[in-house]
């Protein structure tokens, strides 16, 4: 029986990961530690909340006492650190919290794990691992050619990506200095169920359904490399069990699309299947994001060759599954877009 301490498990990828893992593995225990910020939502975990293998603790990853308590009360085998401030636009308007959660929070987790797992000088309980969930954004931006590999130099541009790169360097330092067993995974843009509608795909789905303008930043020809969230969860599972300690693994499925292509795909699906009054007239090109990275593209050869990972969901299938999920879960969308979200939207998009 392995015990996973999953941080940020009430967010988009974390909740998908918990659901995926409990379905995939019988003999595991998952402790979900989440501060429940605006992005955390326990409704995501309704399907597993009564599973005896699952428990939830509301805590901040920066809270040394709370995290130490979790380690002392449980035989934790793996830490999977999803907890983060994850939205680039928010990091541009308010960087401080990104440093606190993403950098200091990660260092706090490293300190607690190191203390709890230590059985001698730089010697740890057998089989333990710290997995840091990172992002391709730490590599910066690509031109029209080439891909990010694990040896691409770090060159983050936004406060968000800088905070994630800093966290990665601390995780590496704890391996290089104290031999703490760890892996870092760097994934491209995820999409799928439970993604908070501040991100491109759910924001556009929600706006099309509500006949609201679709705010495309700049010319909309920026490229992101989209991966269905379940394929990301599968990769993390494989890295935990098979990844060589100290190694970085890039995760991506060669699904590069321009933002404009994504927006038009969503419009067309909804026009053909839900509401024929919507159309491209809803698109509005707005002021570009500051320091906007032009293109991301992952080279996933290492994880494919070493661990046999491959993505199972082609974009055409994944995007339809995702739109359908948002159509079938209007209550969830209603809930997360009421209150605070309205203020956020107003601040971010009015006068843009």
Catalytic sites, residue numbers = 136-137, 160
Which parts of the chain are beta strand (E)? 2-7, 28-34, 54-58, 78-81, 118-120, 123-124, 129-135, 182-187, 190-191, 214-217, 223-225, 227-228, 248-251, 256-258, 283-286
* 107: partner contacted, choices ligand DAU, ligand NAD, none (Cβ within 5-8 A by kind): none
Give residues in contact with ligand NAD (CB under 6 A). Answer: 7-8, 10-14, 34-37, 39-40, 60-62, 82-84, 86, 101, 105, 133, 135, 164, 187, 189-190, 196
Q: How far is CA 197 from CA 39, 173, 216, 224, 309, in A?
A: 10, 35, 15, 17, 29
* 8: partner contacted, choices ligand NAD, ligand DAU, none (Cβ within 5-8 A by kind): ligand NAD
* 175: partner contacted, choices ligand NAD, ligand DAU, none (Cβ within 5-8 A by kind): none
Residue the block writes with tokens 């950098």? 103
303 close to 239: Cβ distance less than 8 angstroms: yes
- DSSP SS3 for 59: coil
The neighbouring-strand residues paired with 34 are 58
Q: How far is CA 2 from CA 26, 130, 182, 265, 341, in A?
A: 10, 13, 16, 41, 37
Size of the site for ligand DAU (CB under 6 A): 19
- Closer Cβ to ligand NAD, 39 or 303, answer by number: 39
* Phi, psi at 301, each rounded to 5°: -60, -35
Q: Which residue is nearest to ligand DAU (CB)?
A: 135
Q: Using the rule CB under 6 A, is 203 a contact of ligand DAU?
A: yes
Q: Using the rule CB under 6 A, is 222 a contact of ligand DAU?
A: yes
- Closer Cβ to ligand DAU, 108 or 190, answer by number: 190
* 296: partner contacted, choices ligand DAU, ligand NAD, none (Cβ within 5-8 A by kind): ligand DAU
The neighbouring-strand residues paired with 271 are none
Residue 273 Cβ vs ligand NAD, minimum distance, rounded to whole Å: 25
- Closer Cβ to ligand DAU, 269 or 296, answer by number: 296
Residue 186 Cβ vs ligand DAU, minimum distance, rounded to whole Å: 9
Q: How far is CA 138 from CA 126, 141, 309, in A?
A: 31, 9, 22
Residue 82 Cβ vs ligand NAD, minimum distance, rounded to whole Å: 4
Residue 294 Cβ vs ligand NAD, minimum distance, rounded to whole Å: 17
Among 32, 189, 206, 255, the residue binding ligand DAU under the rule CB under 6 A is: 189
Q: What share of the chain is helix, strand, coil (3-state, %, to 5)?
A: 45, 20, 35
- Closer Cβ to ligand NAD, 12 or 326, answer by number: 12
Q: Using the rule CB under 6 A, is 216 a contact of ligand DAU?
A: yes
- Closer Cβ to ligand NAD, 101 or 141, answer by number: 101
Binding region for ligand DAU (CB under 6 A): 86-88, 135-137, 188-189, 199-200, 203, 215-217, 222, 224, 259, 289, 296
């Amino acid at each position: 029986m392995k015990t996973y301490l999953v941080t940020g498990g009430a967010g988009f990828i974390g909740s998908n990961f918990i659901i995926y893992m409990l379905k995939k593995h019988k003999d595991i225990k998952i402790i979900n530690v989440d501060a429940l910020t605006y992005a955390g939502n326990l409704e995501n975990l309704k399907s597993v909340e009564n599973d005896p293998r699952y428990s939830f603790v509301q805590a901040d990853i920066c809270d040394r006492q709370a995290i130490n308590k979790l380690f002392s009360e449980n035989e934790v085998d793996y830490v999977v650190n999803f907890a983060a401030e994850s939205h680039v636009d928010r990091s541009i308007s308010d960087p401080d919290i990104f440093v606190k959660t993403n950098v200091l929070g990660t260092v706090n987790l490293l300190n607690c794990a190191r203390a709890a797992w230590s059985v001698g000088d730089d010697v740890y309980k057998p089989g333990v691992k710290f997995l840091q969930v990172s992002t391709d954004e730490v590599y910066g931006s690509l031109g029209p050619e080439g891909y990010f590999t694990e040896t691409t130099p770090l060159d983050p541009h936004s406060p968000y990506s800088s905070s994630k790169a800093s966290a990665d360097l601390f995780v590496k330092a704890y391996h290089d200095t104290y031999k703490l067993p760890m892996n870092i995974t760097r994934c491209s843009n995820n999409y799928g169920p439970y993604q908070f509608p501040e991100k491109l795909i759910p924001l556009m789905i929600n706006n099309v359904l509500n006949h609201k303008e679709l705010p495309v930043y700049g010319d909309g020809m920026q490229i992101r490399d989209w991966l269905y969230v379940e394929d990301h969860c599968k990769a993390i599972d494989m890295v935990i069990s098979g990844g060589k300690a100290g190694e970085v693994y890039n995760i991506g499925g060669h699904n590069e699309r321009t933002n404009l292509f994504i927006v038009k795909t969503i419009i067309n699906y909804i026009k053909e299947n839900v509401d024929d009054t919507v159309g491209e007239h809803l698109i509005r090109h707005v002021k570009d994001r500051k320091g906007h990275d032009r293109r991301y593209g992952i080279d996933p050869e290492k994880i494919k060759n070493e661990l046999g990972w491959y993505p199972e969901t082609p974009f055409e299938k994944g995007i339809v599954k995702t739109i359908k999920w948002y159509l079938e879960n209007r209550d969830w969308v209603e809930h997360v877009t009421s209150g605070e979200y309205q203020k956020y939207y107003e601040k971010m998009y009015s006068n843009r």
